């Protein structure tokens, strides 16, 4: 089969969960199919140097997305308040990408077009049949932004954006010949939200052999925590800040030596300041390999109040034989027995004493 795979970016450097999921799928699909991969390209050479790992032909579209620290980002956000398109979609609209897609569709005769994530659909011709791969229910994420926002202006902005995103997501899902979700919960949500029945769930997985812990000396009971995730994604930023401010002080009442490593690319100034204020917290930025940080921890924390899809960091921790402490965010987590996988750390439903105990060895309870 000859496929045109559309995405908003290339898969290297591989620093986000969505990239990991897509990369592993395409590596296997490429052994049986001809994959043409078209995506926005920010100029980093490794993006194209490694593309042969997962596609037969790469089609880069030069495009540099403005960073959160730039005036352009805030200008785009301000202009988005007056657009019918949600900002997260409008920022990745590319006339060059649309022209190249139209050109390839005329010349290459693809058997299948796959839109990886919701965002690339903005550059796809309206009449073109395609399969939509939804890593998250995007509307749900933006609704949760509005729910947790404390500033009234931010709350209003997120609410308006969620409404616009719901309209866009519904339109795209109804256009798609089939929609693929990453969990049964997401498939159910998309069916209800968009009024569709042509949706299927494909379970998430990781390479268990790759993450398997190597032989090593027995671990001590030092309360070392780790968070693994891209630190330029708003749900991760919110979750880490909430954990450090609300949960970590409770743990340290009983275990004052408890440390936390925040492992992930592009931490913003607010996250870096956390480490500057606390000698027991480290912020690594991009690392070549997250496994040593997992293997060296007692617990992997996943304190997300906002999110959707499935969190690959939980599967990675399971493969590394590291317990996970989770918040009870609906639809974000695999359907495992939490008594064997991890603990809930939902500050809204657990008393402080219970929350603090979750990170302590049994003999210290």
**Residue 300: pLDDT over 70:** yes
**Domains 2-201 and 208-364 belong to one CATH topology:** yes
pLDDT reported for residue 364: 36
**Residue 121: pLDDT over 70:** yes
Superfamily for the 2-201 domain: Glycogen Phosphorylase B; (3.40.50.2000)
3-state SS string for 215-267: CCCCCCCCCEEEEECCCCCHHHHHHHHHHHHHHHHHHHHHCCCCEEEEECCCC
**Would you state the CATH architecture of domain 208-364?**
3-Layer(aba) Sandwich (3.40)
pLDDT reported for residue 102: 97
> Confidence band (pLDDT; 50, 70, 90) for 351?
very low
Tell me which of 295 and 347 has the higher pLDDT. 295
Helix axes 269-277, 234-242, angle to 10 degrees: 20
Helix axes 234-242, 138-148, angle to 10 degrees: 40
Domain boundary assignment for the chain = 2-201, 208-364
> Confidence band (pLDDT; 50, 70, 90) for 172?
very high
């Amino acid at each position: 089969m000859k496929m045109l795979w559309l995405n908003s970016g290339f898969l290297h450097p591989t620093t986000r969960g969505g990239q990991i999921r897509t990369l592993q799928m395409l590596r296997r699909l490429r052994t049986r199919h001809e994959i043409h991969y078209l995506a926005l390209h920010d100029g980093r050479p490794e993006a194209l140097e490694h593309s042969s790992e997962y596609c037969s032909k790469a089609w880069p579209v030069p495009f540099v997305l403005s960073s959160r620290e730039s005036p352009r980002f805030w200008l785009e956000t301000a202009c988005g308040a007056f657009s019918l398109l949600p900002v997260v979609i409008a920022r990745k609209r590319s006339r060059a990408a649309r022209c190249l897609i139209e050109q390839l569709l005329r010349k290459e005769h693809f058997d299948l077009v796959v839109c990886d994530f919701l965002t690339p659909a903005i550059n796809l011709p309206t009449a073109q049949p395609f399969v939509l791969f939804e890593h998250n229910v995007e509307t749900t994420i933006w609704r949760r932004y509005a729910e947790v926002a404390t500033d009234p202006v931010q709350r209003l902005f997120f609410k308006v954006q969620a409404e616009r995103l719901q309209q866009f997501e519904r339109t795209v899902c109804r256009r798609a010949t089939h929609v693929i979700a990453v969990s049964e919960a997401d498939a159910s949500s998309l069916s209800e939200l968009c009024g569709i029945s042509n949706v299927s769930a494909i379970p998430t997985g990781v390479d268990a052999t790759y993450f398997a812990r190597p032989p090593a000396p027995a671990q001590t009971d030092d309360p070392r925590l780790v968070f693994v995730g891209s630190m330029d994604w708003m749900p991760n930023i919110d979750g880490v800040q909430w954990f450090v401010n609300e949960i970590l002080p409770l743990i340290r009442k009983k275990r004052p030596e408890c440390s936390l490593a925040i492992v992930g690319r592009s931490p913003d100034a607010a996250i870096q300041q956390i480490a500057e204020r606390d000698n027991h917290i480290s912020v690594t930025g991009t690392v070549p390999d997250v496994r040593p940080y997992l293997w060296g921890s007692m617990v992997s924390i996943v304190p997300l109040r906002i999110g959707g899809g499935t969190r690959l960091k939980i599967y990675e921790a399971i493969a590394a034989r590291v317990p996970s402490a989770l918040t009870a965010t609906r639809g974000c987590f695999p359907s495992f027995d939490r008594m064997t996988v991890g603990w809930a750390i939902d500050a809204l439903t657990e008393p402080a004493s219970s929350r603090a105990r979750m990170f302590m060895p049994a003999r210290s309870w």
